[in-house]
Amino acid sequence: MTGRADIIIGLQWGDEGKGKVSHVLSKGADAVVRFQGGANAGHTVVVGGQRYKFNMLPAGCLVGAKPVVSAGCVLDPDAFERETKLLTQLGHAAKPLVSRACQIILPIHRELDKRLEEIRGGAAIGTTLRGIGPAYADKMLRAGVRAGDVMDEELLARKLQFLKQLHRVDVEVDAALLRERLLPYVGDAETYLNDVVASGGRVVLEGAQGVLLDIDHGTYPYVTSSNTVAAAGCVSSGIPLSRVGKIIGVIKAYTTRVGAGPFPSEVTGELGEWIREAGGEYGTTTGRPRRVGWLDIPALKYACMLNDVSEIAVTKLDVLDGLPKVKACVRYRVDGVESESFAESKHLLSRVEPVYDEFKGWSVGRDGWVEAVRKGWEELPSPVREYLGWLEKTLSVKISLASVGEENSMVVVRG
Ligand code: IMP
């Protein structure tokens, strides 16, 4: 029996709706893994009118799969405790498992994040201030505290002392509390996950942020501090590449970005405001208004290329309801020269002018969408099918899921 690991990633700048998609696709999975980032992410799942927000645990675990936080994450103990308690309240049977190799975010990392942003001033990245960059920096310096360190009181004390010297600040950490909070959950996640797939089980690897925020391949320095590409799912979980099943890329029907950095297809003014309000585009973690814009095809092609995405899920199609026209940026123009290549234009992104294609809009309404979801793919309103059909052809990837609204049940899975 061979099991597999499916990977879910965002193909834009995050907030694509990965939480909902993971919740749908994790049905029947044995384990769901959060594989990078920390409490900078905010994955929302709405079930039966109830809203659940996950910053640290994989949102897909709500369907009953075992939640795992793998080695490549930076674990925020506060968020972890909050979400673990939530699962207990909900009667979730499977206990979370944290890889011994996972890094721990300490209060000092949040403090350093804040200081770095202050020093950057006008060039600030607009981080979530959750200590992500500094925690990953300590990891690379081989100075970080790992989840497994809570198993050894003396080692933990020594490492905290080292950080104090390194950063020349008081590292105020209640080591006893840290041990109490994490000890019951720390274990050999790598062997557990490999055992699941070896015995025919299914694992879902749930990414956070999006490909364009990848530390190596994104719009550096306006990125997060981890690899958000699908390959990071294997690196972090310890599941070999040969076990990867599907790679599902999630795209919002338009684009959003939080924080600073280039955004060629950004829409500002009245229309931008309209889309932001219609889509409730405010950060789940920080409450910051998100920048909004049209789809960016060169960027999406680049994201598909980096991940060899097998399927795409398109979310929030209902947000564009009522617009007479929907646009998508198909090319960039720089100094009068047009290009379809994101990679080629990457260093010039802040200067590119978008060249748009236009599509007929749709006006489906809440009842119409409920009806469309009930009837299935072939009955999606024709302008929506035309838009999705065009997108599928342009990206050369099958669109296998269309999602509207937040409620978990509002999805159309293509047969
Ligand atoms: P950091 O991950 O907090 O260091 O923030 C770095 C950049 O990534 C900033 O532009 C953040 O707004 C962005 N970012 C981090 N997490 C998310 C997310 O979950 N959704 C969208 N943007 C994010």
Read off the pLDDT of residues 60-69 as tens digits, 9 standing for 90 and up.
999 999 999 9
pLDDT exceeds 90 at position 171: no
Query: Would you state the structure tokens that stand for residue 315, as one six-digit string?
Result: 């979310």
Residues 6+ apart with CB under 8 A from 329: 264, 265, 293, 294, 295, 296, 297, 298, 354, 355, 356
Looking at every residue in the chain, the average pLDDT score rounds to: 95
pLDDT at 2: 83
Query: Would you state the structure tokens that stand for residue 347, as one six-digit string?
Result: 């260093």
d(CA 109, CA 93): 33
Query: Would you state the structure tokens that stand for residue 93, as one six-digit string?
Result: 């049977």
Residues 6+ apart with CB under 8 A from 264: 293, 296, 299, 329, 332, 349, 352, 353, 354
Determine what percent of the chain falls in helix, strand and coil, rounding each to the nearest 5.
40, 25, 35
Please state, in angstroms and as integers, the Cα–Cα distance from residue 17 to each residue in 42, 133, 209, 312, 402, following that order.
10, 23, 10, 12, 11
pLDDT exceeds 80 at position 357: yes
pLDDT exceeds 70 at position 212: yes
Active site residue 109: no
Please state, in angstroms and as integers, the Cα–Cα distance from residue 96 to each residue in 36, 182, 375, 408, following that order.
16, 10, 37, 22
pLDDT exceeds 90 at position 170: no
Q: Which of 37, 62, 38, 66 is nearest to 50 (CA)?
A: 62
pTM, two decimals, is 0.96
* Active-site residue, from 23, 30, 43, 113: 43
pLDDT band of residue 93 (cuts 50, 70, 90) is confident
pLDDT at 284: 78
314 φ/ψ angles, rounded to the nearest 5 degrees: -110, 125
What proportion of the chain, given as a percentage, has pLDDT over 70? 100
> 3-class SS at 408?
coil
pLDDT in tens, 243-262: 999 999 999 999 999 999 99
Q: Which residues of 75-87 are buried (b: 16+ CB within 10 A; e: fewer)?
A: bbbebbbbbbeeb
Pick the residue whose CA is nearest to atom 11 on ligand 1.
Answer: 127
Which residue ranges have their beta carbon within 6 Å of ligand 1? 13-15, 40-42, 125-128, 130, 132-133, 208-209, 213, 222, 224-225, 258-259
Residue 168 DSSP label: T
Q: What angle do CA 61, 403, 53 make, to 5 degrees?
A: 35
d(CA 377, CA 200): 30
Least confident among 69-73, 285-289, 353-357, 407-411:
285-289
- C-alpha 186 to ligand 1 mean position (Å): 26
Pick the residue whose CA is nearest to atom 8 on ligand 1.
Answer: 224
pLDDT exceeds 80 at position 1: no
Active site residue 43: yes
